Amino acid sequence: MVNLPKHVDPRVLVGLETSDDAGVYLLRDDLALVQTLDFFSPLTDDPYMFGQIAAANSLSDIYAMGAQPLTALNIACYAPCVPLSVMGEVLRGGADKIAEAGVALLGGHTVENADFKYGLSVTGVVDPNKIIKNSGAKPRDSIILTKPLGTGIISTAYKAGLVDEAHMQAALNIMAELNKTAAKVFAAYEVHGGTDITGFGLLGHAVEVARASQVEIVLSASELLLLEGTLKYAAMGLIPAGAYRNAEHFGNSVSIDPAVPEALVDACYDPQTSGGLLFALPSAEAGLALLALKQSGVRAAQVGFCRAGNAGRVLVKQ
């Protein structure tokens, strides 16, 4: 791990310390700036869909902080072997998703590179008193997840030529879905802490919340939402390499009930692209929030709770 120099600035409200989703910088007592950047390689042959997914993924970090995204900049690595028309479709997909979010696209930067990549740098704003940090979860909070798992496993099945077309299309659609609606619903409730689920998978990001918040998180495997086909492909061994890296990196902080099927454990470590929000809020509000999410068209489930005790650990029960 690289140790970056630490610059002390009292206006930095969220920095590198807890590996949160975005940085937060205080502008005035009632306003803070939120900034993030993310980009990655294509996971579909459809350039327009890839652009949408990459943009939704980048915007998600702002929603995960309880903030409102305002502006975006494109960042792209352009491979000379890729036709310009393909690059144009990627940027069009990103632009359409940015517009759907109500965000202003200000420009961006492109460099020539052997590998094609695309994403966004996004800037937003938040009330300093309403920042959602991964360090804010409290004992007795309930945990809600707002998207089904399985995008990494299904993408791996696609690359192997073994995926059902309907399963892949469903995965692409869920990855391209903004977390905007879910974030808007949660804004009406007392969210204590949380994150979004991306490359570290459900368990990796849950461990980060547990460590930063000094709580134990208990997840119920039977309550998890999964994309159709996820367990089938996992049982076939179509597991992305990132899932094994996640298990290796975070496994020492995770305890799993032996009754949980192996394929479901793989799904819990599965690296997600543009996954859902994982938010902790008072148990008294969780039922109302879950109902409001479902009424707004968000696929969500109450998947666990926080408790005092084994701080920094995650328990997965059947």
Q: What span, in angstroms and rounded, lies between the C-alpha atoms of 125 and 190?
A: 18
Instruction: Tell me, yes or no, whether 182 and 297 share the same domain.
Output: yes
- pLDDT tens track for 156-169: 999 999 999 999 99
Say yes or no: 150 and 190 in one domain. Answer: yes
Question: Which residues neighbour 221 within 8 Å (Cβ) at sequence distance 6 or greater?
Answer: 257, 260, 264, 268, 316, 317, 318
Q: Residue 262: which CATH number?
A: 3.90.650.10
On whether both 192 and 208 belong to a single domain, the answer is: yes
Q: In terms of domains, do 125 and 140 share one?
A: no
CA 169/CA 229 separation, integer angstroms: 12
Single pTM value for the model:
0.95
- Structure tokens given for 263: 């394929």
1: pLDDT strictly greater than 90? no
CB 124 within 8 A of CB 69: yes
Q: 70 Cβ partners below 8 Å, 6+ apart?
A: 103, 104, 123, 124, 125
- State the average pLDDT for the chain: 96
| pLDDT value of position 309 | 86
Q: Are residues 152 and 259 in the same domain?
A: yes
Please check the confidence at residue 2 and state whether its pLDDT lies above 80: no
Among residues 129, 151, 186, the one where a domain terminates is 129
Same domain, 114 and 140: no
The pLDDT score that the predictor gives to residue 186 is 98
Indicate whether 89 and 141 sit together in one domain.
no
Q: How many domains does the chain have?
A: 2
Task: Give residue 256's domain range.
Answer: 132-317
Q: Which two tokens stand for residue 299?
A: 């696929």
Query: Do residues 166 and 180 both lie within one domain?
Result: yes
